[in-house]
Amino acid sequence: MTRSELDVIIVGAGPAGLCAAMYAGRGLLRSVLIERGIPGGELLNTEWIDDYPGFEHVLGRTLAELMAAHAVKFGADIRQDTVESIIKRDDGIFEVATALGQVYEAPAVILTAGGTPTKLEVPGELEYAGRGVSYCAVCDGAFFKGETLAVIGGGDAAVEEADYLTRYGQKVYVIHRRDQFRASKILQERVFANPKIEVLWNKRVREFTGTPAGLQSVELEDTVTGDRFSLAATGAFVFIGFRPNTGLVKQHVDHDPSGYLITDDRMMTSLPGLFAAGDVRSQLTRQITTAVGDATTAAIAVDKYLTDRKSRLASKARVGV
């Protein structure tokens, strides 16, 4: 086991982590960015992006590569490893332990580990991800103008995004495995009042099928009768859950009912020195733009936090505390 002493440790190299690393480098902070895979996060699972300022139409992988290169230019130290735990010691220093036996120590951590959409885990889901199967209506809805779409789920996210998608799709089917929604009543009323939406009750997705060009249909099974049929749709949006990757922090941190970390206006959590940015943070929307905005604030706030911490320690030393 080896140890490294730093100013700040950034966990997760999606858009938020890469932006935080860039600002940490510009601020001449001793930092490291730890990512279990290739830098980019959910950008790597998105084929085309057209809602990031300055890029009218860019591949997710290309944007990830550009962000990583920009961060490295300003001194980002990106290390491929898997973080296993984040613990704050009594002396105020965080220990970040990894699968490769590294222990990184710093008085500040920026958690940008994102989250993971819950998958249906049916045939074709992985094959057509980014080519018809999506987990973000705001990100991908505009690519399906005039097409027939399917939304899978029955909670708030599913019915709200189904209503949103009617501005693009000519027809939107909501597929739910039960005979009633879990969503709030006001959101349900919007769906039932929208003439473009049709709800398919008691149906589960068995498979996504299509051609090399993309998704063509969703294979369904009736949960009551067991009957199967094919629904023609070129876009399918899955909203059956989203899990923020916050379990790495081994101490209690205030969070909302869904597990997203609650921060102040500087992106600091209830655990002093632990900052959160991007999809792990409780907020209204989760976009690339909001992720990099969070990260900018967090990185600058970390710099100020470290300066204040040094002043406090110096004051204690002078009075012999």
- Looking at residue 275, what is its pLDDT? 98
Tell me which amino acid residue 104 is. Y
CATH number at residue 177: 3.50.50.60
CA quadruple 134, 135, 137, 142: dihedral sign = negative
Give the predicted TM-score (pTM) of the model: 0.77
Last residue of a domain, one of 238, 257, 288: 238
On whether both 156 and 53 belong to a single domain, the answer is no
Q: Is 126 inside any structural domain?
A: no
Q: From edge to edge, which strands make up the β-sheet containing 148-152?
A: 133-134, 235-238, 148-152, 171-175, 197-200
Last residue of a domain, one of 238, 256, 282: 238
Structurally, the chain folds into a number of domains equal to 2
Identify whether 254 is part of a domain: yes
Answer yes or no: is 258 within a domain: yes
Residue-wise pLDDT tens digits, 13-46? 999 999 999 999 999 999 999 999 999 988 887 7
Question: Would you say residue 123 lies in a domain?
Answer: no
Q: Are 233 and 148 in contact (CB under 8 A)?
A: yes
Residues 147 and 182 in one domain: yes
- List the catalytic residues: 136, 139-140
Q: Which two tokens stand for residue 250?
A: 């081994």
Judge if 71 and 169 occupy the same domain.
no
Asked, for residue 300, whether it belongs to a domain, the answer is: yes
Say if residue 261 is in the same domain as residue 301: yes
Q: Is the alpha carbon torsion for 284, 15, 294, 117 positive or negative?
A: positive
| HSE-CB of 155 using CA atoms within 13 angstroms | 7
Which of 31-60 are b and which e, b meaning 16 or more Cβ less than 10 Å from the residue's Cβ? bbbbbeeebbbbbbbbeebeebeeeeebbb
Residue 304 and residue 270 share a domain: yes
CA angle 1, 116, 137 (to 5 degrees): 150
**What pLDDT score was predicted for residue 151?**
98
Q: Are residues 227 and 256 in the same domain?
A: no
Give the mean pLDDT per block of 10 residues along the chain (321 residues): 83 97 96 94 81 90 96 96 96 96 96 91 95 90 95 93 95 97 92 97 98 97 97 97 90 94 98 96 90 97 96 82 52
- The residue out of 211, 238, 265 marking a domain boundary is 238
Question: Which strand (E) or helix (H) includes residue 111?
Answer: strand 108-111
Please tell me whether residues 233 and 255 are part of one structural domain.
Answer: no
User: Within this chain, do residues 29 and 51 fall inside the same structural domain, yes or no?
Assistant: yes
Burial tier of 197 (Cβ tally within 10 Å: 0-12, 13-18, 19+)? buried
296 and 246 inside one domain: yes
**102 located within any domain:** yes
The residue segments making up the domain with residue 219 are 133-238
The reply to whether 125 falls in a domain is no
pLDDT of residue 319: 76
Q: Is residue 70 part of a domain?
A: yes
Do 107 and 89 contact (CB within 8 A), yes or no?
Answer: no
Among all chains, which residue has been given the structure tokens 């027939």? 148
- For residues 60 and 157, give the distance between their C-alpha atoms in angstroms, rounded to a whole number: 23
